[in-house]
Structure 1
């Protein structure tokens, strides 16, 4: 498929949130909190960011995707934007007052990760934020769904998103059930996705979210698969798809995209899902996640940084 050319009749999705540059270091085990030396199995620098990952998976599937994201005011930020557009993502870049966001991700089997923010994103240019609002005002009435990811830019644009009737899917990642930064994102969500790293009783949290009006809520559990609660309160479980694990970075983003695309296909992305619908959507998410983690980078075929 030609980059930048969505397939005819493809879904139209907006993704709002961060793009970053990630240095991925593969270790046999995550470091203990004591002075010592470890040897890396391998390392690479990759295009990163949860929203960039979702946008890339959507574009790879032939979706018409607009990514609204920050761009660092340096060559690294410009290169990140070029990598996205070269892969078929339409990018509305909001320039920041500093360099591109950078992370260091230490990863170890069976999918454990420690993320270190080396360089947070700078303050977005107010004029760029205003321009992004105008673009969204024009774009949102025609979209099928919106991914609203955790980032100050997404928080600034949330009122534009929620005044439409478009379904909002929110990935709160390793939410612990208490962090106040997540509150406006949870309030905006029609569908909640997350991982189980810090939530404790995931089923209780997901059940409460659905009883509070969400169409569905899902927690990924790494090699143990995923747990979801359907719109009628029914718990749903799916297994992880067996695969050779190369790089787990972005697995949750791939799962979210696989699940959304199946929901759009079945016509249940914007209403409470039945248990059977949710099970099929979660299975599609697990399959997309397996495809992602069986290759380096956020999506298969994505070149390493600088290539």
Structure 2
């Protein structure tokens, strides 16, 4: 265990990645893929991998399907240095089909949702969360039924709660308990009309830090003192844009923990945290997998 220690709660999945020149039009037609591959995915797996890449000891509490694919994903993550605590679900592993355009646009199709979690497994999950929260500097909750079920434990025990509400529009009911539980809110700008206004509103409501990623246009944030910061996306050759947002979040979190927590991200410190996030996102998009750690593990096993 290092001085910096984080609990991440949320999904791991098996992803089928299909690279296209552009996303399909909304009409019947034929599309030829540039390439396709099967890869480890899941927003929480991505955050955990990039936190480990940043030197943060990370426990990932995630669901595992009752099939060989689920065990394989867990084994791969553990091989990369992630402390995985798996909650067994009823049914096969969560699977996604990600259609990716040459510009980094994505349509994610759920081929298989995570199965139900039985009562005994949920009791184990709560016990695992309580144990991890006893020493974790912060917890990252991702949108998932497992995470939502653990909000009471997290709000009671966590020192600092980070949530990623992804393409939240400010109104969706499923996201609200996550926002209410959060000290730090991250989101992307896909569906929010006025992101800077919404971020300022979150700080006015008492949140410590609010961040919105803007894809190729970088990211913006409002700090605990109301300071505003913006960072541009690094100019790199994109190999695979999957996981960029999770890498960015992990970079910002790791820097925040190094300086004493999100409450310390004021003025220049806020901009520095966004710079670290952007640098980590660049590591994700220049890798052929969710994280360079997966590439390294593949070379070692090969």
- TM interval, shorter chain, is over 0.9
Q: Deviations over 1:101-128 (max 9, x none)?
A: 0000111132211110110000012211
- Among 273, 280, 285, the alignment partner of 1:288 is 280
Equivalences for 1:1-307 in 2 at 5 Å?
9-269=2-262, 271=263, 273-303=265-295
The equivalent of 1:3 in structure 2 is none
Separation in structure 2 between the aligned mates of residue 168 and residue 84 of structure 1, nearest angstrom = 23
1:66 Cα offset (Å)? 0.6
1:301 Cα offset (Å)? 4.4
RMSD (CA atoms): 1.5
Q: Deviations over 1:107-160 (max 9, x none)?
A: 113221111011000001221111121122222121111101100000111111
1:52 Cα offset (Å)? 0.5
Separation in structure 1 between the aligned mates of residue 273 and residue 291 of structure 2, nearest angstrom = 20
Separation in structure 2 between the aligned mates of residue 213 and residue 174 of structure 1, nearest angstrom = 21
- What's the secondary structure of 1:121's corresponding residue? coil
Asked if 2 retains the 8 angstrom alpha-carbon contact of 1:231 and 1:275, the reply is: no
Give the paired residue count. Answer: 298
Asked if 1 retains the 8 angstrom alpha-carbon contact of 2:77 and 2:84, the reply is: yes
Q: Deviations over 1:156-204 (max 9, x none)?
A: 1111111014101111111121110000000011111111111111111
Which 5+ residue runs of structure 2 have no aligned equivalent?
A: none
1:216 Cα offset (Å)? 1.0
Asked if 2 retains the 8 angstrom alpha-carbon contact of 1:10 and 1:62, the reply is: no
What TM-score do the two structures reach when normalised by structure 1? 0.94
Separation in structure 1 between the aligned mates of residue 189 and residue 92 of structure 2, nearest angstrom = 32
1:58 Cα offset (Å)? 1.5
Which 5+ residue runs of structure 1 have no aligned equivalent?
A: 1-5
- What's the secondary structure of 1:233's corresponding residue? coil
Separation in structure 2 between the aligned mates of residue 117 and residue 214 of structure 1, nearest angstrom = 32
Q: Deviations over 1:59-78 (max 9, x none)?
A: 22332111001100111111
Asked if 1 retains the 8 angstrom alpha-carbon contact of 2:139 and 2:158, the reply is: no
Separation in structure 1 between the aligned mates of residue 68 and residue 106 of structure 2, nearest angstrom = 28
